[in-house]
Structure 1
Amino acid sequence: MSTTFPGWTSLFSGTNAVRALALAGGVALQAINIYIATTILPSVVADIGGLDYYAWNTTLFVVASIVASALSARLLRRSGPRGAYVVAAALFGLGTLVCAAAPSMPVMLAGRLVQGFGGGLLFALSYAMIRLIFDEALWPRAMALVSGMWGIATLVGPAVGGIFAELDAWRAAFWSLIPVTALFALLATIVLPRRGATDAAPQPLPLAQLVLLTLAVLTVSAGSVPSGLAWNVAGVAAAALLTGLLVWVETGARQRLLPRRSFVVTTPLGALYATMSLLAVAVTSTEIFVPLFLQVLHGQSPLLAGYLAALMAAGWTVGSIMSSGADERRVGRAILAAPALALLGMATLALLIPTPSGGEWAALGPICVALFCVGFGVGLGWPHLLTRVLRTAPRDEQDLASASITLVQLFASALGASVAGMVANIAGLTEPGGIAGTAGAARWLFAGFALTPLLCLLTAARIAREIGRR
């Protein structure tokens, strides 16, 4: 049985167009900031130091976003769509101010923490409201649009970050976000309703799970600091123990972060969450280091390196938009193609990026294709994975399912970024450093994380079989 979904015209007409603009705007602000920060980080480290904590800029940002995503439903219920978005934008702006004025890496990390909290609220609210304000038939299109804002970010973020980095004015890149944030808050007060449609009684927050989740990410991040192999292994082991404890507590808890049986990979929901997590890790874990690798190993400027790194997100956007209108017969094939293409791209990058070049396009061209291939593969399946989470979750846990979309993605991204930092440091990024150390880090990073799409082939195949039986 095939289902035909409404076209893009239905999403971009009348009231739907204004609603779509509001949701897409929140994600765009978060995404553009991420690519600005990724592009200028080499310049930041060169100015204020802190190479050992390079990956922590992403880890702390995402940890704060995870906590914010868990709190987003409560903020939405209490403040309404308009108030929630304004609060999120204000927090994001405050964190950006701290980053712009940071005299040292610890202050920068504090700013990234606040910035990540505000940005995480914007990110989670945008996804959570799709189920509330659009008809179900428009969910795949709306998911693709919101995800597609990362494509806008690939154009704007690296340009802003790269230009200011080349002018030796990386602080101005953060300052430039302040008026944009203010304009976004003003837009929210105009186009979003004051109150939401839900009057559900507030539920207690699953504090134990949130604490364990945060500790797991921070522990593996602490282990990624180059203090010796024993310290690195201890960090991973502690994080694995905390994650196992999180699963145990969540399984028996009355107040949960995820819908029932989400941690059982053999269930439809468990397979969906596992596939989402593995695909998110494949992109996030490696993407943050691509600008550094391209600058050190392939002689690229900060601007061009930022744009080339953004090819993963560009491919994600193109893949999402292209597959968003797929009927049921093609959805299974799109989900199965996602890890296959990501695996092909990661394996290619493991071969090509560690080999230094003078920046000739004969060497960069295949790297660009591989970067795009990884993102394109993930994008093919992404809107359908998110939509199926909402359709598969029990009716009495739809709020949990909505919030879980960003929670699972961000948790996987945080762990991936932390482990990536550990792998890169162990492989020689900081010691011996230089060309040889960076090449070793690139080789081990891409080869190691190629295992994630390889494992994802198993869970994606299960989802595809389930779809084929319907």
Structure 2
Amino acid sequence: MLEKTPVTEQETGWEALLSGENAVHSLVLSGGVALHALNIYVVTTIMPSIVREIGGLEYYAWSTTVFVAASILGAALSARLLGAVGAGRAYAIGAMVFALGTLFCAIAPSMAVLLAGRAIQGFGGGLLYALAYGVIREVFRPELWTRAIGLISATWGTATLIGPAVGGMFAEFAHWRAAFWSLLPLTALLALLAFSTLPRKAATEEGRTPLPVLQLVLLVSIVLALSIASTLSTAAQQASAVGIAIVLFVTLLFAERRAAGKLLPSTSFNPTSPLAALYATITLLMIGLQPEIYVPYLLQELHGLSPLVAGYIAALMSIGWTAGSMTSAHWHGERAKRTIFAGPAFGFAGLALIAVFMPMIAANFLVIAAPLAIGIIAVGFGMGFAWPHIVTAVYEFAPDGEAEKASSSITTVQLFAAALGAALAGLTANLAGIETPSRDGVALATSWLFWLFALMPALAVLTAGRVWRARRKTA
């Protein structure tokens, strides 16, 4: 349990986080997350330009698939790297790996080389993203943890707004390679800052545990199976791929229970453990977010909006995430603990509003614009509102000697749940008939999609309530 020490607002406020040595640490940690997030959204925007020049349209989706799979692998190994070489060197290594992948992408003469670069990028980006949560515990006082997590969360949300604009600029002027080249000096600066300012002392906590090779192979295989499922053309093929993923997941559970080297902290699969409830909450919330990938499409298909307008309306979810993080990041005590189940409640309400108003085919979109926008914002707000305190609770309930592993597991679970949710959203939408030529059919599929996924944050309210009760017992 975290030690309770009386502190002043000056010691726990944003000024304390963004001044002196803390400011440099905040810049490095948020910079690594920004680099990872910007890359995701920039590449998504420039991919049409890439395939027009070097070909490989049939492997279009694999640009995301290999990146996500490698990111999960990097996140899972971040604790071992942090324990072996220390924060400064670990960040520098992650940045250099990311830079190597970026270089491959910038010079890629073919899709095969680009995909290799994306895999290397993903591994480095996963390291940087997961390291941010592990290093927070090393460089900031506990009183600043939630603000630091809130800053990282807000950085991600901001990058989702800036990334498409930056990528669009390079695509507009037909210089997609320059988008990758532009990331290299930023990556070099991040590596230099991290190496010179972050602690370089290696920990011993993770160094002697066996590497969970089998679990990592199974984890990446699950992500690949789910990613493939979202690209298959028939419901039977998709169901088969999801079935394979389920079998692999069950195998992963058995392997994790029996292995000497664990992928997650030792209490993660104990149904009565607060840590298990936290991971369940993260998973349910991340799955509930994934129908957002259909928001731009539905706004264009059902309501006739332009791609630009639809894209910015969809971006309201990211704005909501940032607003939620900044709202609750400075909260402490009982009010902070309640955010863990208040956040999922916001998410449920938001998805319910989208489920009701998105399918309404009105002659004038302005009739439904306000409640639809509120719903989209609420989904992101709920996630951002709860996220800083979910991460802090993971720190709190980490078993003795497994703090670094618990920190890296946050990103591993988050990325895995996002991949799972995206695949399930694609499967649900296709089975519901979202590709039907009839607008009424698309509207019906939309209702099914958002109502079914609204169940995820509703269930997260229950799992988060278990965490809240556990924290009250230990208070």
Q: Do they superpose with TM above 0.5?
A: yes
Q: Which amino acid letter does the alignment assign opposite residue 244 of structure 2?
A: A
Which has the higher mean CA deviation after the structures are superposed, 240-249 or 68-77?
68-77
Partner of 2:162 in structure 1?
156
Deviations 1:89-130 (A, max 9, x none): 233233334445667766654443222111101101111111
Q: Structure 1 residue aligned with 2:19, among 13, 22, 32?
A: 13
1:66-85 pair list within 5 angstroms: 66-85=72-91
Partner of 2:467 in structure 1?
463
Q: Which amino acid letter does the alignment assign opposite residue 450 of structure 2?
A: F
* Identity across matched positions, percent: 52
**2:87–2:202: 8 Å Cα contact kept in structure 1?**
no
User: How many residues were matched structurally?
Assistant: 467
Unaligned runs of 5+ in 2: none
* Cα offset, 1:251, TM superposition: 1.7
1:308 equivalenced with 2:309 (yes/no):
no
Partner of 1:337 in structure 2?
342
Unaligned runs of 5+ in 1: none
Cα distance change, pair 444–184 in 1 and its aligned pair in 2 (3 A): farther
Q: Structure 1 residue aligned with 2:212, among 184, 206, 221?
A: 206
Partner of 1:397 in structure 2?
402
Deviations 1:179-202 (A, max 9, x none): 333333343344334x22524544
Inter-partner Cα distance in structure 2 for 1:243 and 1:167: 44
Q: Which amino acid letter does the alignment assign opposite residue 151 of structure 2?
A: L
Partner of 1:288 in structure 2?
293
Which has the higher mean CA deviation after the structures are superposed, 59-68 or 96-105?
96-105
Inter-partner Cα distance in structure 2 for 1:183 and 1:364: 42
* Cα offset, 1:387, TM superposition: 0.6
Inter-partner Cα distance in structure 2 for 1:19 and 1:425: 45
Q: CA RMSD in A?
A: 3.2
Q: Which amino acid letter does the alignment assign opposite residue 198 of structure 1?
A: A
1:177 equivalenced with 2:189 (yes/no):
no
**2:235–2:427: 8 Å Cα contact kept in structure 1?**
no
Cα distance change, pair 100–124 in 1 and its aligned pair in 2 (3 A): same
Inter-partner Cα distance in structure 2 for 1:115 and 1:388: 30
**1:69–1:121: 8 Å Cα contact kept in structure 2?**
yes
**2:283–2:413: 8 Å Cα contact kept in structure 1?**
yes
Which has the higher mean CA deviation after the structures are superposed, 71-80 or 395-404?
71-80
Inter-partner Cα distance in structure 1 for 2:29 and 2:96: 17
Q: Structure 2 residue aligned with 1:387, among 392, 396, 419?
A: 392
* Cα offset, 1:140, TM superposition: 1.4
**1:26–1:122: 8 Å Cα contact kept in structure 2?**
yes
Query: The residue matched to 1:230 in structure 2 has which SS?
Result: helix
Partner of 1:454 in structure 2?
458
Query: The residue matched to 2:401 in structure 1 has which SS?
Result: helix
1:367 equivalenced with 2:372 (yes/no):
yes
* Cα offset, 1:413, TM superposition: 1.2
Inter-partner Cα distance in structure 2 for 1:41 and 1:140: 36
Q: Which amino acid letter does the alignment assign opposite residue 419 of structure 2?
A: A
Q: Structure 2 residue aligned with 1:245, among 251, 258, 280?
A: 251
Cα distance change, pair 156–274 in 1 and its aligned pair in 2 (3 A): same
Partner of 1:417 in structure 2?
422
Partner of 1:116 in structure 2?
122
Deviations 1:234-272 (A, max 9, x none): 112221121111112212222111112212333211111
* Cα offset, 1:303, TM superposition: 4.5
Inter-partner Cα distance in structure 1 for 2:232 and 2:445: 13
Cα distance change, pair 315–206 in 1 and its aligned pair in 2 (3 A): same
Cα distance change, pair 35–355 in 1 and its aligned pair in 2 (3 A): farther
Inter-partner Cα distance in structure 2 for 1:192 and 1:441: 50
1:250-329 pair list within 5 angstroms: 250-283=256-289, 285-329=290-334
1:89-100 pair list within 5 angstroms: 89-100=95-106
Inter-partner Cα distance in structure 2 for 1:128 and 1:75: 11
1:142 equivalenced with 2:148 (yes/no):
yes
**1:163–1:303: 8 Å Cα contact kept in structure 2?**
no
Inter-partner Cα distance in structure 2 for 1:171 and 1:112: 13
Deviations 1:385-409 (A, max 9, x none): 1111111111221121111111111
Q: Which amino acid letter does the alignment assign opposite residue 141 of structure 1?
A: R
**1:39–1:306: 8 Å Cα contact kept in structure 2?**
no
Query: The residue matched to 1:196 in structure 2 has which SS?
Result: coil
Inter-partner Cα distance in structure 1 for 2:469 and 2:58: 44
Q: TM-score, normalised by structure 2?
A: 0.87
Deviations 1:447-469 (A, max 9, x none): 33222112212112222233344
* Cα offset, 1:377, TM superposition: 0.8
Inter-partner Cα distance in structure 2 for 1:361 and 1:220: 37
Q: Which amino acid letter does the alignment assign opposite residue 323 of structure 1?
A: S
Q: Structure 2 residue aligned with 1:60, among 66, 74, 79?
A: 66
Partner of 1:376 in structure 2?
381
Query: The residue matched to 1:259 in structure 2 has which SS?
Result: coil
Q: Which amino acid letter does the alignment assign opposite residue 452 of structure 1?
A: M
Q: Which amino acid letter does the alignment assign opposite residue 221 of structure 2?
A: L
Cα distance change, pair 359–27 in 1 and its aligned pair in 2 (3 A): farther
Partner of 1:407 in structure 2?
412
Cα distance change, pair 436–163 in 1 and its aligned pair in 2 (3 A): farther
**1:35–1:306: 8 Å Cα contact kept in structure 2?**
no
* Cα offset, 1:215, TM superposition: 1.4
**2:42–2:167: 8 Å Cα contact kept in structure 1?**
yes
